Amino acid sequence: MSPQPSSTNPNSLKIQLAYQFLHNLNNLNSKRSNLATTHIRQRSNRVKIAAYASMAYVVGSRRAWSRAILRTIRNRRMLARNKRVDHKITHRPRSAKRRNPKRDYVDPNGNSGQEVKLRKLVPGVEKMDACGLLDETADYIKYLKTQVEVMKNLVDLYSTI
Amino acid sequence: MSTRRSRSRQSTTSRITDDQINDLVSKLQQLLPEIRTHRSDKVSASKVLQETCNYIRSLHRDIDNLSDRLSELLENTDPTQASIIRSLLTQ
């Protein structure tokens, strides 16, 4: 597993993500024995969380976005253990909402508007400088693309069984 | 103030050059699915950022939709992990 994104074989990445995703899905099925009776919304939410978790586990703590996702998942687990339901965290994992979301990061090109939007979309990049932000975004997109491919393959597979 | 903080961070570390930003932006552009202009270079950075935001949003939507479909399909089938991995790898 090479740390440089440009030299990572895309197929091996896809296989890693596939393994991790199936592992997470399997955990979902075994942990919740009453999965069939839970609401479709909750099931779909759990699959979605498994998807983001797979991406984050494969990357580990190497990237700010994966660290942010792992943090959100651990928070969610701690809350579930304390038998409290926090609906905010069951949605798509985001970095924790700051009290003052309107920061004026202006990069040399003056793209403050787009940059702010990008910081909201990529987890874990709120405090990063412009270079780090772009780097994290590229990495995040790469993993998102591969995860979507894995899920599409799975859907095709299950549809034909 | 946040702007003061970010400015001081830039002065203590090396100043982020335009070239660095341009390199990263072009690297990002290569990841995007389509290039709307007929020239692949010299697309404006703000356009690349905008396309990036749209692309990330559409990928998030894809994951949401695929999660919906997968959760429906998973309900009906009882997957054997080994056979699934085998079929995934042979695709």
- Greatest Cα pair distance, chain A, in angstroms, is 54
Of all residues in chain A, the percent with pLDDT exceeding 90 is 26
What is the dihedral sign for C-alpha A145, A146, A147, A153? positive
Chain A residues in contact with B25 by the CB 8 A cut-off are: 134
pLDDT tens readout for residues B76-91:
665 566 566 666 665 5
Residue predicted with more confidence, A120 or B14: A120
Is the backbone of residue A107 left (phi > 0), alpha (psi -120 to 50) or beta? beta
- pLDDT band at residue A137 using 50, 70 and 90 as cut-offs: very high
Task: Give the pLDDT of residue A142.
Answer: 92
Rounded CA separation A63/A45 (Å): 24
Chain B residues inside the 8 Å CB shell of A36: 75
Average pLDDT, chain A: 77
The pLDDT assigned to A111 comes to 56
Which sign, positive or negative, has the C-alpha torsion A145, A149, A152, A158?
negative
Give the pLDDT band of residue A1 (cuts 50, 70, 90): very low
**Does the pLDDT at position A4 exceed 60?**
no
Confidence at residue B65, expressed as pLDDT on a 0 to 100 scale:
94
Q: Tell me the three state secondary structure of residue B82.
A: helix
Q: Do A92 and B60 touch (CB under 8 A)?
A: yes
Top mean pLDDT of A70-74, B11-15, B38-42, B76-80 is at: A70-74
Long-range contacts of B49-58 (CB under 8 A, 24+ apart): B49/A111, B49/A114, B49/A115, B49/A117, B49/A118, B49/B25, B50/A114, B52/A118, B52/A137, B52/A141, B52/B28, B53/A114, B53/A117, B53/A118, B53/A121, B55/A141, B56/A118, B56/A121, B56/A122, B56/A137, B56/A140, B56/A141, B56/A144, B57/A121
pLDDT at position A47 over 60: yes
Residue A5 has pLDDT above 50, yes or no: no
In this prediction, residue B42 carries a pLDDT of 67
| Of A35 and A136, the one with more pLDDT | A136
A112-137 burial, b for 16+ CB within 10 Å, e for fewer?
eebbbbbbbbbbbbbbbbbbebbbbb
A96: confidence class by pLDDT, cuts 50, 70, 90: low
* pLDDT tens column, A50-87: 999 999 999 999 999 999 999 998 898 888 788 655 55
- The pLDDT tens digits of the residues spanning B43-62 come to 788 888 888 999 999 999 99
Sequence spans of domains, chain A: 10-87+107-160
Interface of B with A in 7-66 (CB under 8 A): 9-10, 13, 16, 18, 20-21, 24-25, 27-28, 31, 45-46, 49-50, 52-53, 55-57, 59-60, 62-64, 66
Please state, as a whole number, how many other Cβ atoms lie within 10 Å of the Cβ of residue A159.
Answer: 10
> In this structure, what token pair is assigned to residue B77?
């089938």
pLDDT of residue B17: 79
**What CA dihedral angle connects A94, A129, A56 and A37, to 10 degrees?**
10
Interchain proximity B74–A44, CB inside 8 Å: no
